[in-house]
A and B are shown apart, each in its own frame.
Chain A
Amino acid sequence: MFRLDKKLIKKLKEEKHRNLLGNLSYIDLYAEYVKKAPNKEWSHKQGVFINSIYRSIPKKIKIIRTI
């Protein structure tokens, strides 16, 4: 088992922050695309992605509640 010393935690936090900033740059690019594209175009592309996820959800999950 290794210990997370303060230096390492600080490094991980910085890395997490860099990752967020990278994601935000991508968000800007995507938002610019949606801004310029006709509704039919961006929503169709988004729909292909979203539908593929929701159509692959298992439909026979048995729910058992415990108290």
Chain B
Amino acid sequence: MNIKFAGKTIELFGKELNDLDKEVIKFVGLLDSKYVVVSGYISLLFGRPRTTEDVDLLVQIKNYRAFALIWKRAYNQGYYCLNDDDPLEAYKIFSEGSSVRFAKRNTLFPNFELKAPKSRIEQTALNKRLKLRFDDSGIFISPLELQIAYKLYLASDKDYEDARYLYTLLSQYIDLRKLKYFISSLGVREAAKEILGV
């Protein structure tokens, strides 16, 4: 893997974008708000050969007006909201802390799960986001240390595998001090020892 870390940017040039990558880049382009991609799709971005039904996004949407603008753009581009056809109802769901999902019309997946950052850990993911750059495009992703620790917190076998994959692949770029901080904050020391050996 040819990868370069430079501050808050990761360069992954030469990556052949697959259909899911292209769909994600297209969808995040509709968001006129600060966002970050979190969870399973990140391990796919770095090469894990598995699929996912949903792409999780934390999005800071200030008010209904901003939400309605995203809604309009999404519907114009052939997406629909799985939760509700009424943008006001969907915004209520979103602003109450639940997620709203969008997918291409007449499909169920891949779908984009938009959630407002509520917890301190979600705010950190958004505020400390990294820009992952490809040849002609890019997306914002969660800090890797946080991503790995959060996967341990989720604790399914699939999550453990994602955590191990990212840690093994990118260990030389991982800030161990930061990783241990997030591991400790999320209370997953035992899992970290067993799955990552740290």
Binding site for B on A (CB under 8 A): 16, 19-20, 23-24, 27-28, 30-32, 34-40, 42-47, 49-51, 53-55, 57-63, 65
Contacts and interface: CB of A to CB of B under 8 A. Distances in A.
Interface of B: 1-2, 12-20, 23, 44, 46-49, 51, 80, 82, 84, 106-110, 157, 160-161, 164-165, 168-169, 195
Contacts of B46: 34
B63 to A, nearest CB: 26
A27 B164 contact: yes
Contacts of B44: 46, 50
Contact of A49 (B49, B106, B165): B49
A31 B174 CA distance: 15
Most buried by B among A23, A46, A49: A46
B160 A24 contact: yes
Given A34-B46, A39-B12, A53 B107 contact: no
Contacts of A20: 157, 160-161
Contacts of A39: 1-2, 12-16
A35 B2 CA distance: 8
